[in-house]
Amino acid sequence: MPKKSYFCPKQINLRILYNTGIFLAQYLLQAIGVFNPKIKAGVIGRRETFNKLKKSISATDKTLWFHCASLGEYEQGLPVFSEIKKIYPNHKVILSFFSPSGYDIRKNAPIADCVVYLPLDSKHNAKTLLDLVHPELTVFVKYDIWPNVLNELKRRQGRAILISALFRKEQIFFKPYGGFMKEALFAFEHIFTQNENAKQLLETIGYKAITVSGDTRFDRVSNQLKIDNTLDFIAEFKNNKLCYVAGSTWPEDEKLLVHYINTEAPKDVKFIIAPHNIKANQINQLQSDIKTKTVLFSEKESKDLSQAQVFIIDTIGILTKIYNYADIAYVGGALGTTGLHNTLEPAVFGIPILIGNTYDKFPEAIDMIANQGMFSIKNQSELNEISTKLINNSEFRTKTGAKNAYYINDNEGAIGLITQYLGVNSSK
């Protein structure tokens, strides 16, 4: 691995600035947490990290450390984590998250022996964390780069890889003043990137141990086809009619969808809406805005599902299987600033997909739009036009959806490349 030094006056300033920011962040987060339950949960959770690790790990345990920023990165890394456990069957697994949304949902993840919040990235915390975890192998997912912990790991000659990595030229790693952050990337003995562009960016800073493996999510969603995706209540609702599934929607998505349902959608087309936020007041508002017969998941046992045109899913954890029943999918998040949700989950079922117009940070969306299996809309008229065309033209709908299935199939294989590398290079 290159020994290039990135130390310069600007780097020293960045290092000081970063560490000062981390010091101040602990107090700032505590203050904000008084008003923000999500941030408060993270503050409280981080206080317990070291105690949880002390109770779960002994000095003689062999360990693996998997780190994810949030839930999306966990889902991205999980198939790799599962395969790594086969290579290291006698190791304990520590799983860490930075975000409360990841920790809260996966704090009892069966893949791990201990699930914790990642402490704030101070030098002291980095040393304490690694003293307790002492991992034989560390795996970070995608882009959550914390320089103090990674540089401390490198100082201890610990093994680490970064998987499903995605970079943009605007990031600090690729700026003349970004030496402190660049240094952290060299803690990884190997980086597996999602695409060639990320590889080329790494090469501009002298990093060479790179494999373009693709996105592990392709392998994960492909596995969805190998399991039973039957949901009897969805089949009852669909009643052999064309089904339009809108997944992970936000209010801005729902506004357009509700207007389309109320004014233009054929009455024999079924709609399933699975909102990202399932708070009761928002679900109730959504239901009241829809002017056709609507049923909630929470009341499905007492209703005749086949008679409703719209099914609102006020629960979590079943959207992936619901996509199995879709003829058309809309995936939320790209009309606003929240970020596009997972479009690969519906794509694997070979159906056309609609999204909003903010997707430039999602290469899979860029690809599927270029392949003409996905459509980006920015307003009501565009959603109405493409939705109606897909509903009315079955040949167009089928050919469009098939392009997404081909795209998934063509991009599988990331897990095999990563585990092959680890299998060859592991000491078990």
- Is the full-model pTM beyond 0.95? no
Long-range contacts of 419-426 (CB under 8 A, 24+ apart): 419/80, 419/83, 419/84, 419/87, 421/161, 421/190, 421/192, 421/211, 422/84, 422/87, 422/137, 422/161, 423/87, 426/87, 426/88, 426/137
Domain match, 205 and 61 both: yes
**pLDDT score at 14:** 82
Query: Which whole number is the average pLDDT over 340-368?
Result: 95
Long-range contacts of 292-299 (CB under 8 A, 24+ apart): 292/261, 292/262, 292/267, 295/237
pLDDT band at 124 (very low <50, low <70, confident <90, very high): very high
Residue 84 near residue 419 (C-beta atoms within 8 A): yes
What is the tens place of the pLDDT at every residue in 39-52?
888 888 899 999 99
**pLDDT score at 423:** 83
Question: Is residue 3 in some structural domain?
Answer: no
Say which residues have a Cβ less than 8 Å from residue 95's Cβ, sequence separation at least 6.
66, 67, 68, 74, 81, 106, 109, 111, 112, 114, 115, 116
How far apart (Å, rounded) are the C-alpha atoms in residues 263 and 281?
24
**How many distinct structural domains can be found in the chain?**
2
How far apart (Å, rounded) are the C-alpha atoms in residues 97 and 145?
12
How many degrees, rounded to 5, is the angle at CA 399 between CA 395 and CA 405? Answer: 145
Domain match, 335 and 237 both: yes
**pLDDT score at 194:** 92
CATH number at residue 160: 3.40.50.11720
Question: Is residue 6 in some structural domain?
Answer: no
Check pLDDT > 60 for residue 364: yes
**pLDDT score at 397:** 98
Residue 164 near residue 194 (C-beta atoms within 8 A): yes
**pLDDT score at 11:** 54
Tokens of 82: 């599962």
How far apart (Å, rounded) are the C-alpha atoms in residues 8 and 347?
47
Question: Is residue 428 in some structural domain?
Answer: no
Check pLDDT > 60 for residue 1: no
Residue 186 near residue 194 (C-beta atoms within 8 A): no
Domain match, 206 and 72 both: yes
Q: What is the mean pLDDT of the chain?
A: 93
Query: Which whole number is the average pLDDT over 239-267?
Result: 97
Question: Is residue 8 in some structural domain?
Answer: no
Tokens of 154: 């490198």
Domain match, 360 and 301 both: yes
Domain match, 174 and 250 both: no
Question: Is residue 222 in some structural domain?
Answer: no
Query: Which whole number is the average pLDDT over 401-424?
Result: 93
Q: Residue 117 sits in which domain range?
A: 14-214+415-422
pLDDT band at 367 (very low <50, low <70, confident <90, very high): very high
Q: What value does the CA radius of gyration of the chain take, rounded to a whole number of Å?
A: 23
**pLDDT score at 8:** 52
Question: Is residue 427 in some structural domain?
Answer: no
Query: Which whole number is the average pLDDT over 284-308?
Result: 95
Using the Cα atoms of residue 249, residue 381, residue 334 and residue 212 in order, give the sign of their dihedral. positive
Check pLDDT > 70 for residue 398: yes
Query: Which whole number is the average pLDDT over 143-157?
Result: 94
Best-predicted range by mean pLDDT among 70-79, 98-107, 167-176, 239-248?
239-248
73 catalytic? Reply is yes
**pLDDT score at 177:** 86
Residue 97 pairs in a beta bridge with 68, 117
Domain match, 177 and 318 both: no
Domain match, 194 and 334 both: no
Check pLDDT > 90 for residue 338: no
What is the tens place of the pLDDT at every residue in 55-78?
999 999 999 999 999 988 998 999
Check pLDDT > 70 for residue 9: no
Select which of 73, 189, 254, 364 is catalytic: 73
CATH number at residue 293: 3.40.50.2000
**pLDDT score at 391:** 98
Using the Cα atoms of residue 319, residue 324, residue 327 and residue 333 in order, give the sign of their dihedral. positive
**pLDDT score at 62:** 97
Residue 411 near residue 403 (C-beta atoms within 8 A): no
**pLDDT score at 42:** 85
Domain match, 264 and 131 both: no
The fraction of the chain above a pLDDT of 70, given in percent, is 96
Check pLDDT > 70 for residue 207: yes
**pLDDT score at 33:** 79
Best-predicted range by mean pLDDT among 11-15, 184-188, 335-339?
184-188
pLDDT band at 190 (very low <50, low <70, confident <90, very high): very high
What is the 3 state secondary structure string of the chain?
Answer: CCCCCCCCHHHHHHHHHHHHHHHHHHHHHHHHHCCCHHHHHHHHHHHCHHHHHHHHCCCCCCEEEEEECCHHHHHHHHHHHHHHHHHCCCCEEEEEECCHHHHHHHCCCCCCCEEEECCCCCHHHHHHHHHHHCCCEEEEECCCCCHHHHHHHHHCCCCEEEEEECCCCCCHHHCCCCHHHHHHHCCCCEEEECCHHHHHHHHHCCCCCEEECCCHHHHHHHHHHHCCCCCHHHHHHHCCCCEEEEEEECHHHHHHHHHHHHHCCCCCCEEEEEECCCCHHHHHHHHHHCCCCEEEHHHHHHCCHHHCCEEECCCCCCHHHHHHHCCEEEECCCCCCCCCCCCHHHHCCCCCEEECCCCCCCHHHHHHHHCCCEEECCCHHHHHHHHHHHHHCHHHHHHHHHHHHHHHHHCCCHHHHHHHHHHHHCCC
Domain match, 235 and 210 both: no
Check pLDDT > 70 for residue 319: yes
Question: Is residue 235 in some structural domain?
Answer: yes
Domain match, 34 and 96 both: yes
Check pLDDT > 90 for residue 271: yes
pLDDT band at 6 (very low <50, low <70, confident <90, very high): very low
How far apart (Å, rounded) are the C-alpha atoms in residues 76 and 70?
10
Domain match, 145 and 234 both: no
Longest dimension (CA), the chain: 70
Which residue type is seen at 154?
K
pLDDT band at 426 (very low <50, low <70, confident <90, very high): low
Check pLDDT > 90 for residue 27: no
**pLDDT score at 72:** 85
Domain match, 257 and 205 both: no
